């Protein structure tokens, strides 16, 4: 992951590029904030899921609620292969089960003739079952890879607002803490959407769980991003989405 098309606060971008490279090498959790339309978030999320031409391909997981299923399909299609060893979707809710159930009706993946969609794991039960499913997918990806390389595993979690509504802040906080630890254990990268302004109370509550916050904004017709690193006195300039590329 390198900086491109913008500068860090030291005017040559070196500190910013080093910070990004460290996140990639060690594993990281990113909090994506800012109130932008769903399709704009999906654009930014796709860049974080990885370059579709990466060799080897990134192993990608999207966790979403049922209404976000089609957008998740598009992101996974746009960022690499859809075969089960490279792409998975975890979806919450009964409506998702009827839409995505496999040939045996178990919600484990698409049935015959369902088109190009990733294998889907449907979770209808309590939140800890979502965490268990994420852990199982990471373990399977690790086995497929023969050991995941740093930043090979990428995860997007879109459903934090839904979790907050259903379970409250304390339970959502504990869940994210566990998920971030799971991802960091394989030096992967997870980004979590919280469509609130950076100054909001709820962003301040969750920010300590994350290595950096990525703020999104629309400037005219351009979607921009600004990175704030938790353990460094470092804030990037506003960069166009796509100006921070995967390597």
CATH architecture of 26-245: 3-Layer(aba) Sandwich (3.40)
Does residue 45 have a pLDDT over 50?
yes
Domain assignments of the chain as residue spans, ordered by start: 26-245
Strand-strand pairing, 212-219 and 189-194: unpaired
pLDDT at 10: 43
Question: pTM for the full model?
Answer: 0.86
Does residue 199 have a pLDDT over 90?
yes
Q: HSE-up of 4 (CA within 13 Å, CB side)?
A: 10
Q: HSE-up of 206 (CA within 13 Å, CB side)?
A: 32
Does residue 104 have a pLDDT over 60?
no
Does residue 110 have a pLDDT over 90?
no
pLDDT at 5: 37
For the segment 143-172, what is each residue's pLDDT rounded down to a tens digit? 999 999 999 999 999 999 999 999 999 999
Q: What b/e sequence results for 148-164 when a residue is b if at least 16 CB atoms lie within 10 Å of its CB, and e otherwise?
A: beebbbbbbbbbbebbb
Angle between the N-to-C axes of helices 127-145 and 160-167, in degrees from 0 to 180, rounded to the nearest 10? 150
Pair 72, 99: CB distance under 8 Å: no
Strand-strand pairing, 87-92 and 59-65: parallel
């Amino acid at each position: 992951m390198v900086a491109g098309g913008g500068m860090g606060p030291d005017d040559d971008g070196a500190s910013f590029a080093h910070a990004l490279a460290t996140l990639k090498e060690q594993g990281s959790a990113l909090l994506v904030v800012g109130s932008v339309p769903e399709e704009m978030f999906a654009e930014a999320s796709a860049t974080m899921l990885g370059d579709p031409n990466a060799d080897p391909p990134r192993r990608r997981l999207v966790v979403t609620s049922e209404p976000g299923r089609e957008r998740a399909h598009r992101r996974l299609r746009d960022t690499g292969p859809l075969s089960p060893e490279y792409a998975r979707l975890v979806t919450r809710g009964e409506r998702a089960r009827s839409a995505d159930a496999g040939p045996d009706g178990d919600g484990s993946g698409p049935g015959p003739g369902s088109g190009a969609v990733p294998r889907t794991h449907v979770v209808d039960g309590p939140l800890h079952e979502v965490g268990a499913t994420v852990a199982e997918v990471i373990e399977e990806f690790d086995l497929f890879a023969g050991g995941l390389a740093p930043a090979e595993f990428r995860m997007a979690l879109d459903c934090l607002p839904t979790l907050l509504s259903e379970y409250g802040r304390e339970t959502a906080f504990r869940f994210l803490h566990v998920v971030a630890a799971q991802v960091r254990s394989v030096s992967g990268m997870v980004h979590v959407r919280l469509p609130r302004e950076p100054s909001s109370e709820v962003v301040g509550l969750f920010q300590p769980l994350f290595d950096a916050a990525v703020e999104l904004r629309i400037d005219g017709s351009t979607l921009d991003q600004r990175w704030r690193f938790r353990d460094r006195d470092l804030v990037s300039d506003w960069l166009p989405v796509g100006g921070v590329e995967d390597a």
